[in-house]
Amino acid sequence: MPGPSFDRDVIVIGAGPNGLACAHRLASKGRKVTLIEAEATPGGGIRALPDLAPGLTPSLAHLVWQIDPRVEAAMDLSRHGLTWEATDIPTTVIGRDGNLVIRGPLTEGPDAAAWKALYQRLLSFAAALEPFRRMAPPRLQAGGNSWARLAKNLIGIRALGTKDFRELLRVILINAHDVAQDELTDPRLRAALCFDAVLGAWAGPRSPNTLILLLDRLAGEIAGRKGALGLPKGGMPALAQAMTNAATAAGVSLRSNSRVSRISIADDRITGVILHSGETLVAPVVISAIGPKATILSLAGTEHFDTGLVTALRHQKSRGGTAKLHLALSARPDFRGADLRSRLLLAADEHEVETAFNPVKYGEVPDRPVMEIVIPTAFSGGTGPHLLSANVQFAPHAPKAGEDAAREAMLKACLARLEEAAPGISALITRAGILMPYDIERQFGMAGGNWHHGELAVEQMLFNRPIAPLSRYATPLKGLWLTGAGTHPGGMSGAAGRNAADAVLEAKA
Amino acid sequence: MTYDALILGAGHNGLVTACYLARAGMKVLVIEKNDWVGGAAVSRELTPGFTYSNCSYVASLFRPEIMRDLELPRHGLQILPYEGGAVFQEGGGYLGMYRDHDANRREFARHSARDAEAYDVYSRDVLRYCRFIRPMLLRTPPDPARFRPRDIGELLFIGKQVSGLSERQIADMVRFWTMSISDYLDHYFESPVIKAYLAVSAIIGTALGPMSPGSAYVLLHHYMGDVDGNIGAWGFARGGMGSITKALSSSLQASGGEIRTGAPVARVLVKNGRSIGVVLENGDEIRAKRVISNMDVKRTMLKHVEERELPGDYVASVKKFKTRGSSGKLNIALDAAPKFAALPEGSPAIKGDLHFTDSIEKMERAYDDWKAGHFSRDPFQDVMIPTMIDPTMTPPGKHFMSCFVQYAPPKIGDLAEGGRDWTDADRDAFGEACLNQIERYAPGFRNLIRHVEIRTPRELEAEVGLTEGNIFQGELTFDQLLFNRPVPRYANYRTPVRDLWICGSSTHPGGGVMGAPGRNAASEILRDAKLSPKDMSDAWPVL
């Protein structure tokens, strides 16, 4: 009996960076790909949000920490319209007694030498671990592993040299707070190290296993520069546009404004998807980039999986701890003279970062949040109104006091903190908006409002991401695959999309 | 005269090392700064007629192989398993714990039928991790950066342990080792009070909260012992914890070893990179072919060895070794048994560990206080009344109560400014917070008190010598476990000074009255001296 006939090879659900990278890879390998996006504009977490004020277009993500070099090269993003406003953005920490500028390994003050040594050591550790990002997570027992590749990666780590290898084994699961205290004296540097380690995580810097999150972040590169921060010209939506252009140029058929309501399954095998409109799209392979929980528990249906897997997935942790603040300002704010063409950190020391996490553990709002601020309009040198975009830590994903009360309290705490760091800023605000983790969940579909569709924490990394039985992009349901930030290695670098596409291609070969 | 081995500190690990060395024929002297032996495993009469286990207070981790090797039962050691336990809830309820499986199941079901089911699955899973880790306790950790046959052999041993598990079990175990106990328990249980009870072992003695990743491993550290082969069970040493070290002393003396108390060491003598003995505080010199310190690595290397004798990066590593104290202790002499309002008359629950913290959130908030440089306002207490089972510690009808308290910081005040030392007033306020908490659940309790000893990290450091009052001689996080304990490259009980060794809990496998560090150090020392270890049982065969 002939199988069903399909007019396309693959459906990818969700046109975020990973969905786009995945669809592009498959299309460029000759597959007929349909990419389905629920929103009007592709991009997911980097898409343009409605204008806050005329000309001020915010987005959820506001900086690029990493684009997978394989993805950037394959999609040829510069040909498709990506140009950089800045590729090596410095960080300015707004401290209690003055600001401190950090440019990669360089900074001022008594810790300059210590910081340089520490930063470079962390970069070398990050580089040694980075190859694991570019492969499906290893299996723990024989079968299915690329042993040559694993051996190469391990030799790469040992090649750090005996002393650094030992140090890496010591610090691999250490907390950021202890490293900051051991190696640095300037509270502002300690704050920066701790803040960057827990940015986007549901953990304070005293939590063990936080330094590795910083290593993961430093593993990326922008325009060939390791650990750099980039801002595309036109903001993050411009990156989404370039990726979309590249994908469609490779033959991906993009369907926006199309929300999937079910994945259709017949005889324990994928047959396609059913849209909210009722339309059915058929394909033998469906790859979902919208998050493991949403895909398995909602779109496919738990009845197709064994109960152990469903239970494990339900318990997978996906607590968002970061709120997003957007302000429209009538004029340039003054952060005590800080260069606004930098990333501003409002965190005085390591304790402040930790203390801001305390109440969130109990579903409460912190009095003094810490935050990372980007003013994209300051980079383009515009003289008009400015957009201030901030990632605020920490915010409860399920507040005890109720969602509206928590949102209001959070906004108030943020504005008080801002006024302290930039006296007079309150008078400049013409519009303010804050997205709490639960708002982010609603608007972007990210479980718990967590950026990574599931916390990026050591116990949910590699062969445990998102959960052990789903860690190599395949699912037990024939034809259904996972990608996106919820799969290894997380994030919006496109690496998960690329790895998943390669896994699908390999399985088909 | 020159001893073959001079051991600094008569704690349980120092005595274990001494016993093994003496049995192998070495001439051994143990010196101790206090006028009594025992370190943190002591029984002391601090008020007439009452024996206190005034530091460590329960036994389970002490390795049975060591007890057998050193014939400790013959020298008077008896471990009495205890049963029972209760968590008192705000509002008058309680969760009881019983040794009988069915009774315990019924009690869990009273709080949540689902959790009663889940407990069997949970116990099976945790036991699996215990079984995995136990064979590693009596082994010297490998140095993964070296390619010596022994290191490779030990790595292979670990590999072999891992390969005995299924792929799924390995993934689960890695998750367990890295996650917080709070998240781990959420996978199994729904009842806050059951979770609060089970989370206890994950925070005892550590500078972590139940929501800190890595705390699940600490739970394992408390579960991997046994009493009479019953893994995870706990017991009292009859006559108090000092009975363990008294039996060890007696065993040592029976093999010809000597002990000198009231002899604080000033400095380890180093000549041409080798240790040749020590100078005592009174100026006396004692010569020995090797010096073995039972003190923690920081105290040994930073206080008693001159810095110029040590490589700079070693000193830097030792300084980074984390010994933040997190616990305090109240020892109380009682005129009668306290009555806990929630417990029915005659409940066996009172014979076990009693807690007043009925949710993980309360434990975590107690930890937040510690982080801010303050003792917990609503502390977590692990209260035991060993005299319910062992009547030898007090006059008839009277009781000794041991209250272990989390959290108490090593310094008080704003940690951003470094904090300040504890004062007597701080100590008394800390004691009040604990006593008032008990009084709330056992009205009239305070009227029964005859004498109280309050111990903060300050007292633990001053008396027992534990740096910053850390009961494990160093925190139990991955950066300080296995080949990282106490510092990378020197996890094999050696130091950069030849013939200077470390045998205390700041070495693998860490704290608790376990004896394993002392036994492993003795094994390395004897190997180095080319002596065969007599009576040292190899609990688990090499490959």
Test B213 with A203 for CB contact under 8 angstroms.
Answer: yes
Mean pLDDT value of segment A315-331? 97
CA distance to B370, B405, B457, per residue, from B327 (Å):
10, 6, 7
In chain A the first and final C-alpha atoms are separated, in Å, by 23
DSSP string across B220-248: HHHHS-EETTEET--EEETT-THHHHHHH
Q: What is the pLDDT of residue A223?
A: 81
C-beta separation of A287 from A500 below 8 A: yes
B114 near A CB under 8 A:
no
Tell me which residue in A169, A173, A349 faces B488 most closely, judged by beta carbons.
A169
B190 near A CB under 8 A:
no
CATH code matching the domain that covers A10-47+70-78+234-317+452-508, chosen among 3.50.50.60, 3.40.50.300, 3.90.226.10, 3.30.365.10: 3.50.50.60
Test A459 with B361 for CB contact under 8 angstroms.
Answer: no
Q: What is the DSSP letter of B344?
A: P
Of B421, B422, B400, B391, which is closest to residue B330 (Cα–Cα)? B400
pLDDT at A508 exceeding the cut of 90: no
B378 near A CB under 8 A:
no
How many residues belong to chain A?
Answer: 509
Tell me which residue in A170, A209, A468 faces B213 most closely, judged by beta carbons.
A209
Q: A108 CB contacts (<8 Å, ≥6 apart)?
A: A100, A101
Q: What is the pLDDT of residue A500?
A: 98
Among B147, B320, B363, most A C-beta atoms within 10 A, so best to mutate, is B320
Q: What are the chain B neighbours of A159 within 8 Å (beta carbons)?
A: none
Q: What is the DSSP letter of B368?
A: H
Test B145 with A141 for CB contact under 8 angstroms.
Answer: no
C-beta separation of B67 from B335 below 8 A: no
User: How does pLDDT run along chain B (543 residues), one tens digit per residue?
Assistant: 899 999 999 999 999 999 999 999 999 999 999 999 999 999 999 999 999 999 999 988 899 899 999 999 999 999 999 889 999 999 999 999 998 899 999 999 999 999 999 999 999 999 999 888 888 899 999 999 998 999 999 999 888 888 888 999 999 999 999 999 999 999 999 999 999 999 999 999 999 999 999 999 999 888 888 777 777 778 899 999 999 999 999 999 999 999 999 999 999 999 999 999 999 999 999 999 999 999 999 999 999 999 999 999 999 999 999 999 999 999 999 999 999 999 999 999 999 999 999 999 999 999 999 999 999 999 999 999 999 999 999 999 999 999 999 999 999 987 667 789 999 999 999 999 999 999 999 999 999 999 999 999 999 999 999 999 999 999 999 999 999 999 999 999 999 999 999 999 999 999 999 999 999 999 999 999 999 887 888 755 543
Sign of CA dihedral B32, B35, B37, B41: negative
Mean pLDDT value of segment A73-93? 96
The CA distance from B403 to B385, in Å, is 9
Test B213 with A458 for CB contact under 8 angstroms.
Answer: yes
Give the residue from chain B lying closest to A175, CA to CA.
B479
Q: What are the chain A neighbours of B365 within 8 Å (beta carbons)?
A: 362
Tell me which residue in B183, B214, B320 faces A317 most closely, judged by beta carbons.
B183
Count CA atoms closer than 13 A to B168's CA, side-chain side: 6
Count CA atoms closer than 13 A to B442's CA, side-chain side: 23
Sign of CA dihedral A415, A416, A417, A420: positive
A351 near B CB under 8 A:
yes
pLDDT at A4 exceeding the cut of 70: no
Q: What is the pLDDT of residue B543?
A: 39
Cα Rg of chain A (Å, integer): 22
Within 166-185 of B, beta carbons closer than 8 Å to A belong to: 166-168, 170-172, 174-175, 178-179, 183
Give the residue from chain B lying closest to A180, CA to CA.
B320
The CATH architecture assigned to B83-112+327-407+409-455 reads: Alpha-Beta Complex (3.90)
Q: What is the pLDDT of residue B539?
A: 55
A459 near B CB under 8 A:
yes
Amino acid at B6: L
The CA distance from A200 to B1, in Å, is 64
C-beta separation of A414 from A406 below 8 A: no
Test A468 with B171 for CB contact under 8 angstroms.
Answer: yes
3-state DSSP assignment of residue A462: helix
Chain A nearest CA to B103, separation (Å): 28
For tokens 């009961």, what's the residue?
Answer: B471
B164 near A CB under 8 A:
no
The domain segmentation of chain B, as residue ranges, is: 2-79+238-321+474-528, 83-112+327-407+409-455, 122-229
Q: A255 CB contacts (<8 Å, ≥6 apart)?
A: A34, A35, A36, A37
C-beta separation of A35 from A20 below 8 A: yes
The domain segmentation of chain A, as residue ranges, is: 10-47+70-78+234-317+452-508, 114-222
Of B359, B435, B356, which is closest to residue B92 (Cα–Cα)? B356
Give the residue from chain B lying closest to A170, CA to CA.
B479
The CA distance from B454 to A209, in Å, is 35
Ranges A181-185, A339-343, B530-534: which has the least confidence: B530-534
Give the residue from chain B lying closest to A165, CA to CA.
B145
Output the CA angle B473-B477-B479, nearest 5 degrees.
Answer: 100
Of A56, A69, A38, which is closest to residue A375 (Cα–Cα)? A56
Q: What are the chain B neighbours of A170 within 8 Å (beta carbons)?
A: 479, 484, 488
Of B367, B325, B324, B380, which is closest to residue B200 (Cα–Cα)? B380
Q: What is the pLDDT of residue B542?
A: 44
B479 near A CB under 8 A:
yes
3-class SS string, A170-188: HHCCCCHHHHHHHHCCCHH
Of B7, B498, B6, which is closest to residue B272 (Cα–Cα)? B498
DSSP string across A390-453: EEEE---SS-TT-HHHHHHHHHHHHHHHHHHHSTTGGGGEEEEEEE-HHHHHHHH--GGG-TTS
pLDDT band at residue A7, thresholds of 50, 70 and 90? Answer: confident
- Average pLDDT along chain A: 95
Q: What are the chain A neighbours of B174 within 8 Å (beta carbons)?
A: 459, 463-464
Q: pLDDT tens digits, residue range A92-126?
A: 999 998 999 999 999 999 999 999 999 999 999 99
CA distance to A292, B33, B297, B323, B394, per residue, from B38 (Å):
55, 11, 18, 21, 20
This model of the complex carries an ipTM of 0.96
Tell me which residue in A139, A206, A209 faces B167 most closely, judged by beta carbons.
A139
A364 near B CB under 8 A:
no
Q: What are the chain B neighbours of A463 within 8 Å (beta carbons)?
A: 171, 174
Q: What are the chain B neighbours of A138 within 8 Å (beta carbons)?
A: none
Amino acid at A281: L
pLDDT band at residue A383, thresholds of 50, 70 and 90? Answer: confident
Chain A nearest CA to B391, separation (Å): 43
Among B183, B208, B315, most A C-beta atoms within 10 A, so best to mutate, is B183
B159 near A CB under 8 A:
no
C-beta separation of A376 from A62 below 8 A: yes
Q: B310 CB contacts (<8 Å, ≥6 apart)?
A: B301, B496, B497
Q: Hey, what CATH class is B2-79+238-321+474-528 in?
A: alpha beta
Of A463, A187, A499, which is closest to residue A352 (Cα–Cα)? A187
The CA distance from B351 to A210, in Å, is 40
Mean pLDDT value of segment A353-367? 98
Q: What is the pLDDT of residue A468?
A: 95
Q: What is the pLDDT of residue B540?
A: 54
Q: What are the chain A neighbours of B187 within 8 Å (beta carbons)?
A: 315
Among B129, B371, B374, B414, most A C-beta atoms within 10 A, so best to mutate, is B371
Within 309-338 of B, beta carbons closer than 8 Å to A belong to: 320, 322
For tokens 């604080």, what's the residue?
Answer: B264
Give the residue from chain B lying closest to A349, CA to CA.
B416
Paired residues of A493 in beta bridges? none
Among A96, A121, A140, most B C-beta atoms within 10 A, so best to mutate, is A140
Sign of CA dihedral B408, B409, B411, B415: negative
Test A459 with B175 for CB contact under 8 angstroms.
Answer: yes
Q: pLDDT tens digits, residue range A21-54?
A: 999 999 999 999 999 999 999 999 999 999 999 9
